[in-house]
Structure 1
């Protein structure tokens, strides 16, 4: 069990992934063949059955892309994602040290956490992996990222990030801007940008792994320059933008031919 994303982050390398929020093993194959480091299977906003989630994770492994699950608010979501073979989890709305401790409790085995133990599931190769080696490998290789999406979380950043078992943070820029009251301007509002700068500065000062979301290549590069190590693009938005571009270019061509 080797998590190539976690290994790269330990070496200080930058990694790139893509969110996907609908059931499509084919799209995950394309993400892998395109060369992404990881895929974020989005249970928070997506719609997946447990078996579909497992198939998406299996597909990711087949094309060499690390499967990460952004879990839902269901109490069993962390357990189910990890038992199905997820190599990492992103947890929405971690607002306090108590929230972070609860995440670790669900994601890590005893003594650090209280994750339920079983060896009959897919992550343990249906019983082929068992005992101390499986438990230790799982705890060491799975990456756990806490979402910072509210001003409460910003104020509690150090307490959240310092919880043993939390590997880093993920800035949810859209949720943060809404929480701050800037629904119209979003993350581009100057006050939101000030908070984002503060988060990056604190992360750099404490050598904290920091992730965020980007909408395009420019956004990816800007995030890296600010100090992000782990960037996820929204696959749905990229696909939609590409489709709209085809229609727009086609209309422009038609007008040029038939003015």
Structure 2
């Protein structure tokens, strides 16, 4: 039996639009609820949310049978944590703050087994191989891992051609919040100057045949970037939905 098919990786390779939601509440109950909401994908965030390996694994467990694909974003792109997340069952990773080709190359190796990578061979007793019930896991896992790298600074944008050409990087994801801050527009990711940089970045990424992702909660700008070729679109987060819904409900009775 081979490793489970990564339908998100296949969809992005085919150029199909995939819209989804950040999971930042660090809670398996709310994750399970959103697993039935019909999003193309859900991302368990470990960078800006109070998640650790245990809470991430719990959410992977409750989302196992969700129709939504599941990704994990670790707090940092270190080999040790990537190894743990993969063995815990994550097949798709979004790595924050990637600024150079060298970083991207290290990450691409970290998600692959030798001889093509540096991932430690220990999934036989881990959740990734269903505790060895997937007999061919190590022989087939590499092909089903989806690696996304996140560009969030002008240094990263300047190196985007080098990053996008790294073998093993499947998608380059643009983070407007940090990028806008780096450009001097803290708190204003919709500034025209930021939009212009993103437009240029999208064109350059597509030129190298890689999928383009972006976090864009503004529907009009999201549609604009989709029209330019972005296919992996984060349209919000669970905490935001709860906040928005709470305000709307309270306003009815004010």
Normalising by the residue count of structure 2, what TM-score does the alignment of the two structures yield? 0.91
For residues 221 and 184 of structure 2, the distance between their equivalents in structure 1, rounded to whole angstroms, comes to 23
Task: State the secondary structure of the residue aligned to 1:102.
Answer: helix
Deviation at residue 219 of structure 1 after TM alignment: 5.0
Between Structure 1 and Structure 2, the one with more helix by share is 1
Deviation at residue 223 of structure 1 after TM alignment: 3.3
Match of 1:230 in 2: 232
Deviation at residue 228 of structure 1 after TM alignment: 1.1
The answer to whether the 8 Å contact 1:4/1:66 transfers is yes
The answer to whether the 8 Å contact 2:40/2:69 transfers is yes
Q: Do residues 143 (structure 1) and 146 (structure 2) align?
A: yes
Match of 1:70 in 2: 73
Task: State the secondary structure of the residue aligned to 2:253.
Answer: helix
Match of 2:207 in 1: 205
Deviation at residue 217 of structure 1 after TM alignment: 4.6
- Range moving further from structure 2, 221-230 or 190-199: 221-230
Task: State the secondary structure of the residue aligned to 2:36.
Answer: helix
Rg larger in structure: 1
Match of 1:61 in 2: 64
Structure 2 unaligned segments of length 5 or more: list them.
none
RMSD: 1.7
Of the three residues 101, 118, 124, the one matched with 2:129 is 124
Of the three residues 115, 119, 123, the one matched with 2:119 is 115
- Range moving further from structure 2, 242-251 or 152-161: 242-251
Higher relative contact order (CA 8 A, sep 6+): 2
- Range moving further from structure 2, 55-64 or 159-168: 55-64
Q: Which runs of 4+ in 1 moved over 6 A?
A: none
Structure 1 unaligned segments of length 5 or more: list them.
252-259
Count of matched residue positions in the alignment of Structure 1 and Structure 2: 248
> 1:141-220 alignment to 2 at 5 Å?
141-184=144-187, 186-215=188-217, 217-220=219-222
The answer to whether the 8 Å contact 1:66/1:87 transfers is no
For residues 56 and 164 of structure 1, the distance between their equivalents in structure 2, rounded to whole angstroms, comes to 30
Deviation at residue 128 of structure 1 after TM alignment: 2.3
